[in-house]
Amino acid sequence: MLVGATSHSPTGSRGFMERGFLLLVVLMFLEGTVFPLGAASSPDINNYTFPKKAFPVLSLDYGHIQMPFEISLWVLLASLMKLGFHLIPRLSGIVPESCLLIVVGLLVGGLIKLAGEEVPPVLDSKLFFLCLLPPIILDAGYFLPIRPFMENIGTILMFAVIGTLWNAFFVGGLLFAVCQIEGTHLSQVELLPCLLFGSIISAVDPVAVLAVFEEIHINELLHILVFGESLLNDAVTVVLYHLFEEYSGAGEVTLMDAFLGVICFLIVSLGGVAVGAIYGILAAFTSRFTSHTRVIEPLFVFVYSYMAYLSAEMFHLSGIMALIACGAVTRPYVEANISHKSHTTIKYFLKMWSSVSETLIFIFLGVATVAGPHAWNWTFVSVTVILCLVSRVIGVVGLTFIINKFRIVKLTTKDQFIVAYGGLRGAIAFSLGYLLDKDHFPMRTMFLTAIITEIFFTVFVQGMTIKPLVDLLAVKKKQEAKRSINEEIHTQFLDHLLTGIEDICGHYGHHHWKDKLNRFNKKYIKKCLIAGERYKEPQLIAFYHKMEFKQAIELVESGGGVKMPAAMPLQVSMQNIQPKKQPPMAADRALPQFTKNREEEIRKILRSNLQKTRQRLRSYNRHTLVADPYEDGWSEYMLKKQRMIELEKKVSNYLTVPAAPSDSPTMRRARLASDPNAFYTIKAPPGNVPTIQVELASPQSPDSVNLVDEFSKKGGSSQKNTDDRKEEQGRMMKPPSAGKGGKGEEEEEEEEGENKNPGLLRCLSDPGPSNEDEEDEPFLP
């Protein structure tokens, strides 16, 4: 400012000098301020005769951003690797992803070592347990298929608790015995550290199980057995770990300690579940009030769940069980409250995070292997690997023998084999080993080496061979078909029937209690936790609406019914199942009868248009439609209008919860009038036909406009309202020329479908983890 002022002064040479002088002053002023900053970074400030540095235009300051940058690099590496694997077609079929990622980790670790740098301790226990593990477990818990889980809970608990205990003691004990043998030079390893090692290595790891089982698609029962076991054995592992770690110093464990251990186990597991459930209910309750701030809805689910995990970890309860409980409790209530988009957001964020986490974990495993330090002892390592396998097999076979006495659907030998073979170890074991204190456990490095070897063995050998073995043994695979409405109706019917039979026999069995729990849930809990009137909605209706909605989306995706996917070859419409009514007596009808030819013509036109209508009518939104082909087209038109309102209402209801406010009158009229089949009738209301313009410019309901905008942006044309397919056909309506109108419509529709398809398909295409049929199951069906 000062400089500027002086430069405008009218004086001549004196002004020049003044300017220069002032310029100098300003520069010195500036440098004076810069210097202290520079002085802060350089300690020698004793002289003011700094050589005048050029003002740094471009400088490198890596230290400033090092931490986040490296994290981002790792995440980027993980994601690129995942991308890369799927581009190589044959590889992902043979080798499970987890193996490839470990190899990548090994390579990266090797590269870092070659470069002379120290390999960062990436699988730091804190990082692992607080950042990498929770997303995976939350994802698993939120989408846990509750019904099969609860049906098999007894079996799962047996495997998780007793199986893990058996494994821990068997491996630990026998390892100690082996260590005592003369030739192994391992006599310094005492009993308690061995048992500790046994408890670390015996737990089946959920991350590894998820990673491998996801690719082999076995039937639901086996999946839930192994997976459920891997989740629930966390409590046992936590207790055993702390117990042995505490007392390894003291050298002995008394009976009292063992008893306390059992109590501790109960507290750890039940406490973890309780903490999770409390946070889950809080989350559900909060979501009841989020109808005005839909954008942050997903955040509540994530934050509450994470806090549940942290709270449980704070008390040394089982964080994993807390997270599972929170996810499972939250889901049915939150889903009834939040909007459809939030639901999608939650789903995709969870999948994304868990996927990245999993990838990172495996890569870090590889890196940590390279980092070492290692202490290889042939005896110890090989005995560990063998013992783990043996103990797992014995454990599973023995437990199944007992369990089968109480199960209705017994576990066959094939099932037992898969359960035993699928017991993979993973990064949790490594992290627990890493946590061990170096001073208390001098053989820590040997333990770590053995753990890593075991992990490698299970992931590589068992992981790679399980898929061909599954095929070889012809184990039943996962059913791919979606649940149909008939199945849903009959499942519910069966539930009630069996409850009734139990009541008649006076036997208070499973169904009785399940029914009671359901009723309690409906009466009290749902009322508190679900916003608005939706808590009253019975499950069958919710299911039906969901299907309807999906159907509508599918039809939109497939181009408005023109290009029907081959999988839906049905051409059965309401006409076919409605009992025919007798046409009323001729005398009653005030309308003129048509001649035979006219009838034929009308019927042909009807048929050619009903073809599309029929395909559209496939969606589950039927009204009682008396499709009497003799009736006048007018009443058909009226019925179709009614149906359109219904469809529109329903679809908009599920895009925005609660139901969207009504549209502007113009929109409504446009929609109602856009009936393609009305044109051919003589009695078609003349007023409507010319006024069909889909007025998308006019204000729509605020929520549904978002969906439309998404589509319109990608669809290329701004005149598509995907809320109601019929509208786009309405747009093509022209004043009828009887007989030809039908064909004209068809052509236009085809054209329309062609233009629209790529855009819509692209934006609607769902490349992410699909086939999540389980997620559709309500909490307590």
Binding footprint of another protein on the chain (CB under 8 A)? 404-406, 408-410, 479, 481, 484-487, 489-494, 496-512, 515, 519, 536, 538, 540-541, 544, 547, 569-580, 607, 610, 618, 620-624, 629
**What are the residues whose beta carbons fall under 8 Å from the beta carbon of 774, sequence distance 6 or more?**
143, 144, 145
Residue 551 CB, shortest distance to another protein, in Å, is 9
Nearer to another protein, 37 or 408 (CB): 408
Distance CA 641, CA 663 (A): 16
Q: Least distance to another protein from the beta carbon of 413, Å? A: 12
Q: Name the one residue in this structure whose structure tokens are 């690797």.
A: 81
Shortest gap between Cβ of 493 and another protein (angstroms)?
Answer: 6
Q: Exposure pattern of 543-559 as b/e (b: 16+ CB <10 Å)?
A: bbbebbbebbbebbbbb
We find the least distance from the C-beta atom of residue 112 to another protein, in angstroms, to be: 52
Cβ distance to another protein smaller for residue 98 or 573: 573
Question: Least distance (Å) from another protein to the CB of residue 510?
Answer: 6
Closest separation between CB of residue 518 and another protein, Å? 10
Our CB check for another protein shows the closer of 519 and 740 to be 519
Q: How far is the CB of 536 from another protein (least distance, A)?
A: 5
Nearer to another protein, 56 or 506 (CB): 506
Return all residues near 661 (Cβ < 8 A) that are at least 6 apart.
701, 702
Tell me if 415 sits within 8 A of 175, measured CB to CB: no
CB of 777 to another protein, least distance (A): 15
For another protein, give the closer residue by CB, 76 or 489.
Answer: 489
Q: Cβ of residue 419: shortest distance to another protein, in angstroms?
A: 17
| Residue-wise DSSP of 303-355 | HHHHHHHHHHHHTT--HHHHHHHHHHHHHHHHHHHS-HHHHHHHHHHHHHHHH
Cα-flanking dihedrals φ and ψ of residue 218, to 5°? -85, 175
Measured from the CB atom, the residue of 536 and 762 that comes closer to another protein is 536
Prior bond of 658 cis (ω within 30°): yes
Is the Cβ of residue 331 or residue 618 nearer to another protein in the bound state? 618
Stated as kind and residue range, the H or E segment containing 149 is: helix 146-151
Confirm if 308 and 281 have CB atoms less than 8 A apart: no
Q: Indicate the residue among 311 and 492 with the shorter CB distance to another protein.
A: 492
Which residue, chain included where needed, has tokens 């002088």?
A: 21
| 487 vs 747, beta carbon nearer another protein | 487
Closer to another protein by CB, 49 or 576: give it: 576
* Alpha-carbon span 265 to 259, nearest angstrom: 10
Distances (CA, A) of 181 to 8, 189, 380, 387, 443: 98, 11, 12, 16, 17
Looking from the CA of 454 toward its CB, the CA atoms found within 13 Å total: 34
Q: Report angle CA 675, 681, 684 to the nearest 5 degrees.
A: 60
Report, in Å, the least distance between residue 544 CB and another protein. 5
Q: Phi, psi at residue 134, to the nearest 5°? A: -55, -40
Closer to another protein by Cβ: residue 18 or 502: 502
- φ and ψ at residue 545, rounded to 5 degrees: -65, -40
Q: How far is the CB of 772 from another protein (least distance, A)?
A: 18
Complex with another protein: residue 250 or 572, whichever CB lies closer:
572
CA atoms within 13 A of residue 561's CA, in its CB half-sphere: 24
Q: Which is nearer to another protein, 279 or 535 (CB)?
A: 535
Answer for the pair 681, 635: CB distance below 8 angstroms, yes or no.
no
Q: Which parts of 521-632 fold into alpha helices (H)? A: 526-529, 539-557, 574-577, 596-617
Residues 6+ apart with CB under 8 A from 544: 485, 488, 620
H helix count then E strand count, the chain: 33, 0
CB of 607 to another protein, least distance (A): 6
Give the nearest distance from C-beta 494 to another protein in angstroms. 6
